[in-house]
Chains A and B, each alone.
Chain A
Amino acid sequence: MDWPILSILIWLPIAAGIVVLAIGSERAVLGKQVALGASVLTFVLSVPLYTDFDTSTAALQFVEQVPWIERFNVFYHLGVDGISMPLILLTTFLTPLVVIAGWEVIKLRPAQYFASFLLLEGMMIGVFAAVDGLLFYIFWEAMLVPMFIIIGIWGGERRIYATMKFFLYTFFGSVFMLVALIYMYLKGGSYSIPDLHALPLSMQEQTLIFLAFLIAFAVKVPMWPVHTWLPDAHVEAPTGGSVILAAILLKMGGYGFVRFSMPIAPDASDALSWLMIALSLIAIVYIAVVALVQQDMKKLIAYSSIAHMGFVTLGFFVIYEMATSGDGALFALQGGMVQMISHGLVSGALFLCVGVLYDRMHTREISAYGGVANSMPKFAAFMVLFAMANVGLPGTSGFVGEFFVILGSYQANFWLAFCAATILVLGAAYTLWMVRRVVYGEVGNEHVAAMPDVDRREFFILGVLAVSVLLLGVWPAPLVDVMDATLTNLLEQVTRSKL
């Protein structure tokens, strides 16, 4: 390790964001070019994280550690393992696409818009790369600010309501996480995540800490019943905001469970796994049925996201219901992780599709469309492809995670897999019913007839995502392999009792 790659990935976009702000909206083109250049460069620089990654070890890699606040034993400590590395790549991969997606669309204060995304990118990478709990917490909270601004300024009509709801929900959740972190610091004298993992805790302590983290992470995922901020936030957010929100911000909840809750409080996780599984299944079944009756495309995809994230939490917590000697637990964990990455791509792509339509018609109402395939055949092909990925069709990334989680859950209990597998029918029902009403049929009205097909910019974004979704579906091994050692180790760690 010659150069501090993780620091560069965090601070390069943040610095570029400040530069873009300084350039200002008067010279918007230059600002956009800087934003695009910085985000592409960040992606290019992040590639060695994958290519130089040692897949044989669960140890942290690309580690950087310098004392930060020595008095409180806080370190600027970065590093990645098989869990965080793919999530960082997902972040660096999607940010340039989001910048391109906003290229011609954002007319209001473009510099601030693009700067927000760059700042957000750096902070999100910080969340995934932080090995110090306090550092993690700072990135976690700081990240809310650009997102808050993105929805609040470039959002729709009810954006203020949506931002307040988003902010209060997530802020409310993370306060409890801070309390838990401080408690553990007081007890163990360290914020370092590996130290927290090793910290001996009684059952009662574990339970309280687990619940504190649960509030923070459940809001983020989001899990039923703290999910209602998400549809509102998505509906009001601009396209880029929705993409990042669905693709990456939600993943932080899932990431939190495997990084904090389960290894820190393994016994409480075990004891409360029934609750987590129940909430996951509610997300899968209840939310899927709710998605069926949505009239707003973004709301529908938002509900679909909640249902799909239910697979993530199900995959993580179902491991406590089975013998860890078999392969079922590993299937479930892998499934949850693959689902996170895949959902990032697929939901991001779907929100971009809605964005393409919204830019032309300025409505998200399903009933305002109809027969889009007539005027936009290329777009229709993309939309159907991503819909199929959302449905979990084999050959797309959407299949892999669900497949693994269902196979894994079966090893715990037949009926768990049974409930989870209802997504096959319900997911297809709500997704394809939307496709039918939006894409197929006679041309709905003269506005639809006048819609131009995707231009080269849009084609590029959707094309890149389509290729990734297909590649990951046809050959998931490159993703599965980098996570294998870490997850095998994690499985051992989260099932070893601290009592």
Chain B
Amino acid sequence: MESIYLTIVLAPLAAAAIAGLLGSKIGRAGAHSVTILGVAISFALSLYVLWGLAFGDAEPYNGNVYEWAKIGNVTIAVGFLIDNLTALMMVVVTSVSLAVHVYTIGYMHDDPGYQRFFSYISLFTFSMLMLVMSNNLMQLFFGWEAVGLVSYLLIGFWFKRPSAVFANLKAFLVNRVGDFGFLLGIATLLYFAGSLDYAEIFAQAERIQGETINLWGATAVSALTVACICLFVGAMGKSAQVPLHVWLPDSMEGPTPISALIHAATMVTAGIFMVARMSPLFELSEAALAFVIVIGATTAFFMGLLGLVQQDIKRVVAYSTLSQLGYMTVALGASAYAASIFHLMTHAFFKALLFLAAGSVIIAMHHEQDIRKMGGLRKYLPITYWTFVIGTLALIGFPGFSGFFSKDALIEAVHASSLPGSGYAYWCVLLGVFVTALYSFRLLFVVFHGEERMDHHTKEHLHETPAVVTGPLIALAVPSVIVGWLTIEPILFGGFFEGAIFVRPEHDVLGEVGAEFHGPGAFVAHALTHSVTVYLAAAGALVAWFLYLKRPEIPGQLLERAGALYRLLANKYYFDWINENVIARATRAVGTGLWRVGDQLLIDGLIVNGSARAVGAIASAARRVQSGYLYHYAFAMVIALAALIGWFALRG
């Protein structure tokens, strides 16, 4: 089996190398053919692996490929852990990646960096696979940073744009703040477990739970809580949780295919995956879980609100992504890891769909992204429109669509949780449903319905995008509708993640939800009769209809009335302002200060050049002694020698 896993990761890497290094020789068609082939191989084999684990008699695999380094008794290896959690992630990553590869042929059609782009996205697929398939923390960190690198390269893909090279630096730095925590988490686990291997660490989880660290004076803190919170800080960076979320909206400066692949479907879910993977540790620390759930809930609700005031089609979807990542994080905090991964999967499909559909709109609009210049597009872009509708319905949780199952199960699980913070989280995710529907339908109505606000020239050239663009939309629309119905039962309530995800019996909220579960049909019926979520979503959609189609003059009036609130939202709660004007500026000021005062004035000016001046002064004094008479020198030497001998004699 090991050779299959190696092929899965190496096929995209080889393709990336070929497209990247030989891009000019193999040409455009060569570049996209080879990378699509590489990802297709990975996808097919990933499906085979998942099939074997889910339906066949394949056993989970845990083995090392090679020894990376051995320090003392600690062996750090590169290896694979392939269980149901990993296999599911592999299929999600490679399937979305494949769709995005095909779509890119259309989206990047005229771009001079065509081959480079394909090379990057294949490299991304490799990195992401390394991340999810790892069996140890070192390799996880490798994948973690490698996807960050590719994200950096792709956000700055159009490197001539100042906004793009600002955004990619910002993304990298904010992620590094997260990685800073992540690395300390890894160091904590190495210290207490003496290994970086998952299996070895998990085997000692109970023991580590009893260990403590003194962080502040004599205050002993649970080592496991420190480890989990540090790891989660890494997840906050990668999965864009408040307050490390600031990079994700700006990452929309990158080409749309990567917004779909990296900044919606896969990379940003790495943090979610990591916490699920580390469930044997998080389960043992309620403090860490409470931290997770509060951060997640805050992100889910407050970032959703920001989606209401955005005017850029991609940024609306980006804030939606932030909010949905918050939902997944809430589920993690509620110990409903399976629900979180389930939502991760459905979200990967429908959010990739929404991004790619948005990209299709952008192509049709000649790279115009301002929704105020759109409107009435549904008659020009029928396929894009209907796939966008499907994505929207899945996102808001329309009964029967994939997002409905994952989100409803998730909310039920949070409701059932009794962990600290779950009460707050429940209200956040519940109100979030209304907000989600409101911004989603706002976007749908403003872009595809109503008055046509684009200029004459654009309107003349409006037509449906080519098949390489619409094909992936249709391909993603299918799972966006059906995957929830088909898989909710095995994934959430069928023990699919048994052995991969660990939940303590007293935290098993999904078990409680599952007790009420009698098939997907009954689940829909139950939601319609016993739950408010569907009605909240409907209310959101209705309000959107009223505000943006029926009475489009009202939003403007509302903004005038609610000036302070609007400014708060329009300025994104002032996170960026604080980062740029306080943190970044203060750091540079400190740097300048230390350099000018510390290095130049004190060390160089006073000590180095000062001592040089002192030497000069002594020398000019000595010049008087320098009489030029030989016997003066001889005399000085004799005295010096005598002094030296005297010193040795007195000592010895």
Binding site for B on A (CB under 8 A): 165, 169, 225, 228, 286, 289-294, 326-328, 330-331, 334, 371, 373-374, 384, 388, 393-395, 399-400, 403-404, 406-407, 410-411, 414-415, 417-418, 421-422, 424-425, 428-429, 432-433, 436, 439-442, 475-477, 480-481, 484, 488
Which one of B176-184, B267-275, B287-295, B625-633 contacts A? B176-184
24 residue pairs of the A-B complex, CB under 8 angstroms, read A228-B599, A228-B604, A289-B590, A289-B591, A289-B594, A290-B595, A326-B72, A327-B194, A334-B69, A384-B153, A393-B146, A394-B146, A395-B142, A395-B146, A403-B183, A410-B191, A411-B191, A425-B176, A432-B173, A436-B166, A441-B160, A441-B162, A442-B160, A476-B68
Are A429 and B173 in contact, CB atoms less than 8 angstroms apart?
A: yes
Residue of A nearest to B215 (CB): A414
Are B173 and A410 in contact, CB atoms less than 8 angstroms apart?
A: no
Minimum Cβ distance to chain A for residue B470 (Å)? 33
Residue of A nearest to B589 (CB): A293
The residue from B71, B176, B607 contacting A428, defined by CB atoms under 8 A apart = B176
The residue from A286, A374, A432 contacting B598, defined by CB atoms under 8 A apart = A286
Are B183 and A388 in contact, CB atoms less than 8 angstroms apart?
A: no
Are A406 and B187 in contact, CB atoms less than 8 angstroms apart?
A: yes
State the CA gap A4–B590 with chains docked (Å). 53
Minimum Cβ distance to chain A for residue B169 (Å)? 5
Is there a chain A Cβ closer than 8 Å to B559's Cβ? no
The residue from A436, A475, A480 contacting B66, defined by CB atoms under 8 A apart = A475
State the CA gap A62–B598 with chains docked (Å). 46
The residue from B144, B156, B588 contacting A292, defined by CB atoms under 8 A apart = B588
Are B70 and A286 in contact, CB atoms less than 8 angstroms apart?
A: no
State the CA gap A442–B592 with chains docked (Å). 27
Are A422 and B190 in contact, CB atoms less than 8 angstroms apart?
A: no
Binding site for A on B (CB under 8 A): 66-74, 138, 141-142, 144-146, 149, 152-153, 156, 159-160, 162, 165-166, 169, 172-173, 176-177, 179-180, 183-184, 186-188, 190-191, 194, 213, 215, 226, 587-588, 590-592, 594-595, 598-599, 603-604, 607-608
State the CA gap A422–B149 with chains docked (Å). 18
Which chain B positions have C-beta within 8 A of A477?
66-70
Which chain B positions have C-beta within 8 A of A410?
184, 187-188, 190-191
A424-B69 contact given A394-B146, A414-B215, CB 8 Å threshold:
no
State the CA gap A442–B138 with chains docked (Å). 37
Which chain A positions have C-beta within 8 A of B608?
165, 169, 228
State the CA gap A286–B179 with chains docked (Å). 21
Q: A327-B71, A407-B186 are in contact. List 19 more A-B contacts (CB 8 A).
A: A228-B608, A289-B594, A290-B598, A326-B194, A371-B159, A374-B160, A384-B153, A393-B146, A394-B142, A395-B142, A395-B146, A406-B184, A410-B187, A417-B184, A424-B183, A436-B165, A440-B156, A477-B66, A477-B69
Residue of B nearest to A232 (CB): B604
Which chain B positions have C-beta within 8 A of A327?
71-74, 194
State the CA gap A388–B127 with chains docked (Å). 15
State the CA gap A286–B591 with chains docked (Å). 8
Interface SS, A side: helix
Are A432 and B72 in contact, CB atoms less than 8 angstroms apart?
A: no
Are B66 and A421 in contact, CB atoms less than 8 angstroms apart?
A: no
State the CA gap A419–B67 with chains docked (Å). 29
Residue of B nearest to A388 (CB): B149
Residue of B nearest to A289 (CB): B591
A425-B591 contact given A404-B71, A406-B187, CB 8 Å threshold:
no
Which chain A positions have C-beta within 8 A of B138?
394, 403
Which chain B positions have C-beta within 8 A of A393?
145-146, 149
The residue from B70, B159, B172 contacting A441, defined by CB atoms under 8 A apart = B159
Are B591 and A293 in contact, CB atoms less than 8 angstroms apart?
A: yes
Which chain A positions have C-beta within 8 A of B595?
290, 293-294
State the CA gap A393–B74 with chains docked (Å). 22
Which chain A positions have C-beta within 8 A of B591?
289-293
The residue from A293, A407, A421, A440 contacting B588, defined by CB atoms under 8 A apart = A293
Are A475 and B162 in contact, CB atoms less than 8 angstroms apart?
A: no
Are B169 and A433 in contact, CB atoms less than 8 angstroms apart?
A: yes
State the CA gap A480–B592 with chains docked (Å). 38
Minimum Cβ distance to chain A for residue B255 (Å)? 16
Are B173 and A428 in contact, CB atoms less than 8 angstroms apart?
A: yes
State the CA gap A331–B594 with chains docked (Å). 32
Which chain A positions have C-beta within 8 A of B73?
327
State the CA gap A165–B599 with chains docked (Å). 14
State the CA gap A442–B187 with chains docked (Å). 41
State the CA gap A247–B194 with chains docked (Å). 33
State the CA gap A404–B186 with chains docked (Å). 11
Residue of A nearest to B594 (CB): A290
Minimum Cβ distance to chain B for residue A188 (Å)? 15
Minimum Cβ distance to chain B for residue A136 (Å)? 25
Are B590 and A421 in contact, CB atoms less than 8 angstroms apart?
A: no
State the CA gap A327–B72 with chains docked (Å). 6
Minimum Cβ distance to chain A for residue B323 (Å)? 27
The residue from A331, A371, A374, A406 contacting B72, defined by CB atoms under 8 A apart = A331
Are A421 and B191 in contact, CB atoms less than 8 angstroms apart?
A: no
Minimum Cβ distance to chain A for residue B71 (Å)? 5
Q: Which of B144, B177, B187, B603 has the most CB of A within 10 A?
A: B187
Residue of A nearest to B599 (CB): A228
Which chain B positions have C-beta within 8 A of A439?
159
Which chain B positions have C-beta within 8 A of A480?
69-71
Residue of A nearest to B605 (CB): A228
State the CA gap A31–B312 with chains docked (Å). 63
Are A432 and B69 in contact, CB atoms less than 8 angstroms apart?
A: no
Minimum Cβ distance to chain A for residue B165 (Å)? 4
Are A476 and B191 in contact, CB atoms less than 8 angstroms apart?
A: no
State the CA gap A421–B177 with chains docked (Å). 10
The residue from A294, A394, A484 contacting B70, defined by CB atoms under 8 A apart = A484
Which chain A positions have C-beta within 8 A of B604?
228
State the CA gap A394–B139 with chains docked (Å). 9
Minimum Cβ distance to chain A for residue B612 (Å)? 8
Are B141 and A394 in contact, CB atoms less than 8 angstroms apart?
A: yes
Minimum Cβ distance to chain A for residue B21 (Å)? 10
The residue from A373, A421, A475 contacting B180, defined by CB atoms under 8 A apart = A421
State the CA gap A422–B590 with chains docked (Å). 15
Are A334 and B71 in contact, CB atoms less than 8 angstroms apart?
A: yes
